[in-house]
Structure 1
Amino acid sequence: MNYWPLLGIAIVVVGFALRFNPLLVVVGAAVATGLLAGLDFVAVVEALGAAFNGNRYISVTWIILPVIGLLERYGLQQRARGLIENVRGATMGKLLVTYLGFRQITAALGMKDIGGHPQAVRPLVAPMAEAAAVKTHGDLPDDDRDKVKAMAAATDNVGLFFGEDIFFAIASILLIQGVLESYGYELTPLELAVWAIPTAICAFLIHGGRILAFDRRLAKHPSRSEEDRA
């Protein structure tokens, strides 16, 4: 039995103990293991590429987060605020109601990952909503700014939750179908999706009303500049 490929384990242990770059350590251990097992270098690279391609949905998830972090570091939120400040007639209420509709429609079409808290709300929607609120109502106290951000996050949640059930090829619809079937109700996923449309419309109207009411309440609160003058 050939024990030489087990040296790859030793490379991982030593590399982590010496605090080398984990990615380089793992790749180096994989290449060493393949070569010691009798594979040529091209075959080892092909095996690594096949493994990456077969599990790329995991890798892409972790690649997106640092990309968004870099964008924020280089002024993505500031650009988003500046953009909404230059839009004439833009208010926090109009912005979030528009995003609510966008989120519901895209989720209903199966594109539920097009929005979300890390990739859309934090870097774009929340800063734009905050800038629109400041533009309309003046400088806001910190607690009101936090409420604006919370409303932006809630809008994403409501839009996704009540929009995705309209898309019949989604896990939640299949779960509902399975539960109803166990009680003797035979419904197809398409029938369930159609009956989710009235609920989604009600959710849009109710949460949209909450957003507009919150925007009106902000107008009644004194801004920080007014508090300082008092």
Structure 2
Amino acid sequence: MATNYWPLLGIALVVIGFALRFNPLMVVVGAAVVTGLLAGIDIIGVVEALGKAFNDNRYISVTWIILPVIGLLERHGLQQRARSVIESVRGATMGKLLVIYLGFRQITAALGMKDIGGHPQAVRPLVAPMAEAAAEKSHGELQPEDREKVLAMSAATDNVGLFFGEDIFFAIASILLIQGVFESYGYPLTPLELSVWAIPTAICAFLIHSWRINALDRSLGRRTP
């Protein structure tokens, strides 16, 4: 039986939508609907699958608890305290700080604690201000575009650490999805086998992103007057 490659068009739609800066939620939902229809699933089945995925993975109550707490802490100077702490540490640099956070994020995600970090609860109130303070401590006043690069690298560090760390934890949805895809093509693999082979990828991701972090730190030193 011929393989149907049309469902892969959904990936192209995601890339094009993000490149054109469309609303991410609309892009993902639209790509999911197109992929389901091209795979031969009727529109009702696609909507049911989207509804089930949302219902199984919703954390609305947790969000309502976390966000007000973070907002209250920020209002009372959490970011300023984070900056002052890193400024008092001798030898602290943006590179060292983000590499340590990258390793922490990967290790905790590999142990199944993928929600221990994250953009709203860790990067925005703590990691980004500390990285910014460390960069200013090493290189002086930052230009606006350099400041944005430091903040973006802080967010990217969280993304890389989580993405390449969570696949080492064999009891996670992504591993089960990969297992199902391989099994459908006649390659029966256990979740543990997939997790073991995710370790070299995680190590490579750590080394490559650590190099990117330190490269940015060095470039700030060359560009700051």
Q: 123, 137, 142: which is aligned to 2:125?
A: 123
Q: CA deviation at 1:61?
A: 2.2
Matching residue of 1:108: 110
SS at 2:142's partner residue? coil
Q: CA deviation at 1:57?
A: 5.2
SS at 2:128's partner residue? helix
Q: Deviations over 1:80-124 (max 9, x none)?
A: 000000000000000000000000000000000000000000000
Matching residue of 1:203: 205
Structure 1 position 222 matched with structure 2 position 213: no
The CA distance in 2 between the partners of 1:147 and 1:222, in whole Å, is 13
Structure 1 position 145 matched with structure 2 position 147: yes
Q: CA deviation at 1:62?
A: 1.1
The CA distance in 2 between the partners of 1:170 and 1:69, in whole Å, is 30
Output the TM-score relative to the length of structure 2: 0.73
Matching residue of 1:157: 159
After TM superposition, list the pairs within 5 Å mapping 1:41-80 onto structure 2.
58-80=60-82
Matching residue of 1:20: none
Give the share of equivalent positions with the same residue, in percent.
84
Q: Deviations over 1:30-63 (max 9, x none)?
A: xxxxxxxxxxxxxxxxxxxxxxxxxx95322211
Structure 1 position 84 matched with structure 2 position 86: yes
The CA distance in 2 between the partners of 1:207 and 1:61, in whole Å, is 29
The CA distance in 2 between the partners of 1:80 and 1:128, in whole Å, is 6
The CA distance in 2 between the partners of 1:124 and 1:66, in whole Å, is 16
* Residue type of the alignment partner of 1:65: L
Q: CA deviation at 1:222?
A: 2.5
The CA distance in 2 between the partners of 1:159 and 1:196, in whole Å, is 13
Gaps of 5+ in 1: 1-55, 224-230
* Residue type of the alignment partner of 2:167: D
Q: RMSD of the TM alignment (CA)?
A: 1.1
Output the TM-score relative to the length of structure 1: 0.72
The CA distance in 2 between the partners of 1:58 and 1:207, in whole Å, is 32
SS at 2:159's partner residue? helix
Q: CA deviation at 1:167?
A: 0.2
* Residue type of the alignment partner of 2:135: A
SS at 1:147's partner residue? helix
* Residue type of the alignment partner of 2:107: I
* Residue type of the alignment partner of 1:173: I
SS at 1:139's partner residue? coil
Matching residue of 1:16: none
